Structure 1
Amino acid sequence: MDEQPRALLRNVLGRWRDDLIDLTGRNRLLNFRPTRTATLEIRSPLAGPLLVDLDSGLRFAELPEDEGDGEGLADLVDAGGIVTQKTTRVSLDASLRKLYRDSNQVFNDTGLWTLQLGVAFLKWREPGAEGFSLAPLLLVPVRLDRLGPGLFRLIIEQSEDAVPNPALAVKMGQLGVDWPDPDSMKDLLGTLSAVRTAVAGHPDWEVNEDVVLATFRSHKEAMYRDLLDHEDQILAHPLVQAIGLGEASHLPEDALYFDPLDTDRIDELQPPELTPLVLDTGGCGPHPARRPSR
């Protein structure tokens, strides 16, 4: 492709990317604000031990029925299990049921898994802004296994990968911050070190090791990053050129021609199990790896 059409197509691809992502304060990945019921702030274990123990799963600490009936935080920590900001069994159960119900409902409706731990946070702000925002550095997919009435176990969701916050990477790039490569953010210690180095020029910004359990939707931001990282490959595809430039792509007339499959033999010539699909159409039940109890 000539340089001028390529530059035009690059601009088109840039607009497509920008339409995918919300870089404003409305995006929870950039400006996280806890909700009373659907956010659990994990006070114990600390981030590092928590991520290790979640491979085999952790139950939540036993709480008193009413305020003032139980012991303090130190006693809960000594007793084991996950300790959150919730101080009664009723309030904890309400949050766990909502997170369990909402995440499974979104998965059944869309195929997207949204229940995640936000691990470690960056306290940052836009140039000239008075207030700060909080953004998680790592997103770790987890699931809640229902063990019985009011009993849940938190465990890593093996079918999904932990990822650095993709929206934060895009936003920091927009602000001119030399943000670390995702390969340097594969674990907690590497992430903390890389991000603290990246934001060293902003002495009023802070990095902490807080952990929250909440629902996050990060798939459009991941698509943005994918389009950015593979820009040259995408620009070279004739279908992208045809959609983005129309007649200005100057493609050969037969570039996108193909012989349609015989509809009577389509399953034989193109078996469904070998056809790449965005979502598995084989069923719409609960994710087999999660096996939520009803």
Structure 2
Amino acid sequence: MRLHQRSEQEYADRGVWTLYIAYGMLNWMDPADSKSISSPLLWVPVRLTRDGQNYRIDRTEGEPTLNTALALKLSRDFGVRLPELDDEDLTAASVFGAVRSAVAKEPNWTVDERVVLSIFSFHKEAMYRDLEENESRITSRGLIQLLAVGPESPSSSKFPFDPVRDEDLDGTLAPEKLHSILDADGSQRKCILAARDGHSFIMDGPPGTGKSQTIANMIAELMAVGKTVLFVSEKAAALDVVRDRLAQRQMEPFLLELHSHKATRKHVVQTLHAELTRRPMARSTFSDTDRSQLIKSRTRLSDYAEAMNEIRRPLGRSLHEVLGRLSQLADHDDHPAGSPDILSSLTADVLAEIKMTASSLAQVWRPAEKGEYFPWTGLDGAGLSQDRIKELERVLQALSVQAERVSRTSNLVDSQLPFWTVDMDINGVRSRSAVVKLLTDKRSIPHSWYVCDLASILKTLDSVEEREKQLDGLESEVNNQSNKRWVADDRKLISPLNALLSSDPKVYSSVLADCSLKQMQELHETVEKVARALHDLAGRAGELGKLFNLNQSSLTLNKCRALAALAELSQQGSLPEADWINASIQEWNSMW
């Protein structure tokens, strides 16, 4: 699995296939360190394909390759030249035999006919061999000399050039005369023109700025003037991006990919044969009418850009510059600037004078705005003696020290408390001081608050909350039964009712069973009135008892009524004889 992942990742990143089966191993010894080395002889590119739980080894379209790095090492260090075999004769047996013959004179060098599946990366060695064989041709190139030697190279004067200026782009080569297949701005057109003229340069830019788009336009432009372009890249992804951009513009018949598995002889021959046997036809053409409309649109845009960047007199600035400056002032308040005629005649000198005056006003604006609250308001330095000035300087120095201490303390407070939005003025310092004083004078917090078991407290709170829910349920049930919700006055009856029920439980069953809370409250008020009436009646009954010489404790309500009637009778005009109410005389008369 690891071999499969590594080989696929290398191919995706660099377009280089690295998974091979190595046929045969040359066992030899390097005299530099006397270590035994086993080097593969023949590589065959393969691919691992998942087949259920297992992997299957399949041959790719790549061609078998001899170990060119080993051949270079043996030739350079040992004088042993391995045979160069033609592809048609390239078999494992022929390779083993040829290598055995080449190393026959080397003691303890053997060829082991075994097979190894692994990751092999030998493409750099092939590049090295190619460079070594073509060293003279490469070093004769002026660009290679410039890269190797620098400004001191003989060809250094051939490469510097001045890129076309922005304002000269249309005059150098109009856009409608270019063969760009994708959109191109001014900076991209400069690169296209430089490549068209054969200059060497570096096109730099962050990702997403259109480099691959510019390269595609360069290739199309060079092809249009009859040149062949070799586009190389370290990563295969960059090659694929440019190829896709060209293919989207029907340029695929002119492309030949020479990397990865597409660089095999079979693929190259098939591609060349397919393109040579067909003639590409343009699907659309750029008519004279289209060209004329393009020229008109470009002219209008160029005139607009030129007008926007033209230096206007008498201010000496362009409209583009003025609009850019105004956009920076969008967050500031607008103030009347006077008559438009004044602005139309505004010169650079007058503008500079206005800015200087505004700067001077800014220096005195704070004293004028704060008025009497400005710290130096009313200060008159005229007539001060040198001694007084020195004394003031000492006071200022002392104040500066204190101000620094206040600033440090305030910053310390701000680092601990959320005072970031409070100004660092006298009021802000006072606010900070007041808060610090409150924190200093705060009551001490019990130590148990810091070390208490939070889990148990939360459990208790949950229990209290559950009890509160139960209480609310009971209260709702009582309200439903009494058809009236309890109010604050109703709750005052709870204690008297509890006392009444505890003193005489029969009261509840006999009297209050069918009473609502309101009825019980009305009953309570009636009982209080009756009690006050009885108290008054008892006083009056006592007075009647004294009049009739009767014991007060023996008086009943009926006796009180009779005594009241008798007292009322005694107040009338015609009174009965005294003997009529004398008990002894009445008893005597009854005897006769």
TM superposition score category, shorter chain reference = 0.5 to 0.7
| Cα deviation 1:132-158 (Å, max 9, x = unaligned) | 2100011221111223x2232212221
Higher helix residue share: 2
Contact 2:21/2:44 (<8 A) preserved = yes
Pair 1:143-2:92 in alignment? no
Give the secondary structure class of the aligned counterpart of 1:108: helix
TM-aligned CA deviation for residue 257 of structure 1? 5.5
Find the residue that maps to 2:155 and give its secondary structure.
Answer: coil
Match of residue 23 from structure 2: 119
Q: Distance in 2 between matches of 1:180 and 1:288?
A: 26
- Looking at secondary structure, tell me which structure has more strand per residue: 1
**Matching of residues 115-264 of structure 1 within 5 Å:** 115-127=19-31, 129-147=33-51, 149-158=52-61, 160-183=62-85, 186-251=90-155, 253-254=157-158, 263-264=188-189
Task: State the 1:229 CA deviation.
Answer: 1.9
- Corresponding residue SS for 1:200: coil
Aligned pair partner of 1:270 in 203, 206, 219: 219
1:106 aligns with 2:10: yes
In the other structure, the counterpart of 1:25 is: none
Q: Which residue of 2 aligns with 1:45?
A: none
Q: Rg larger in 1 or in 2? A: 2
Distance 2:29 2:122 in 1: 20
Q: Deviations over 1:16-54 (max 9, x none)?
A: xxxxxxxxxxxxxxxxxxxxxxxxxxxxxxxxxxxxxxx
Q: Which residue of 1 aligns with 2:272?
A: none
- SS of equivalent to 1:125: strand
Segments of structure 1 that go 5 or more residues without pairing to the other structure are 1-96, 290-294
What TM-score, normalized by structure 1, do the two folds share?
Answer: 0.55
Q: CA deviation at 1:161?
A: 3.3
How many Å separate the matches in 2 of 1:194 and 1:215?
25
Q: Measured at CA, do residues 234 and 190 of structure 1 come closer, stay the same or move farther in structure 2, by a change above 3 Å?
A: farther
Tell me if structure 1 keeps the 8 A contact 2:83–2:102.
no
Whether contact under 8 Å (2:143, 2:155) holds in the other structure is no
Q: What SS does the aligned partner of 1:249 have?
A: coil
Give deviations 1:246-288, integer Å, cap 9, x for gaps: 34431262257697896146444424996512335326xxx89
Q: Which amino acid aligns with 2:78?
A: G
Contact 1:166-1:222 within 8 A present in 2 as well: yes
CA distance in 2, matches of 1:118, 1:257: 51
Three-state SS of the structure 2 residue aligned to 1:234 is helix
Query: SS where residue 104 of structure 2 aligns?
Result: coil
Q: Structure 1 pair 180/288, CA: closer, same or farther in 2 (3 Å)?
A: closer
Partner of 2:527: none
Q: Which amino acid aligns with 1:150?
A: Q
User: How big is each residue's C-alpha offset from its partner over 1:47-79, in whole Å with a ceiling of 9 and x where there is no partner?
Assistant: xxxxxxxxxxxxxxxxxxxxxxxxxxxxxxxxx
- AA paired with 1:139? W
Shift of 1:233: 1.9
Residues in 2 aligned to 1:257 and 1:211: alpha-carbon distance in whole angstroms: 57
2:29–2:35: 8 Å Cα contact kept in structure 1? yes
User: Do 2:26 and 2:112's aligned partners in 1 also have CA atoms closer than 8 Å?
Assistant: yes
Deviation at 1:202, TM superposition (A): 0.7
Cα separation, 1, equivalents of 2:91 and 2:136: 29
Larger relative contact order (Cα-Cα within 8 Å, sequence gap ≥ 6): 1
Deviation at 1:207, TM superposition (A): 0.8
The total of aligned residue pairs comes to: 188
SS state of the match for residue 118, structure 1?
strand
Which residue identity does 1:270 align to in structure 2?
I
Moved more, 252-261 or 161-170: 252-261
Q: 1:107 to 1:269 in 2, by over 3 A?
A: closer
Q: Give 3-state SS (helix, strand or coil) of 1:135's partner.
A: strand
Q: CA RMSD in A?
A: 3.2
Q: In structure 2, do the counterparts of structure 1 residues 184 and 254 end up closer, same or farther at CA, with 3 Å as the change threshold?
A: same
Q: Percent identity of the aligned residues?
A: 30
SS for the counterpart of 2:150 is helix
Report SS of the residue matched to 2:158: coil
User: TM-score, normalization: structure 2?
Assistant: 0.29
Q: Give ranges in structure 2 of 5+ residues lacking alignment.
A: 165-177, 179-185, 193-213, 224-228, 242-259, 263-592
1:258, 1:167 → 2: CA distance? 44
C-alpha displacement of 1:218: 1.2
1:64 maps to none
CA contact (8 A) 1:179 1:195 kept: no
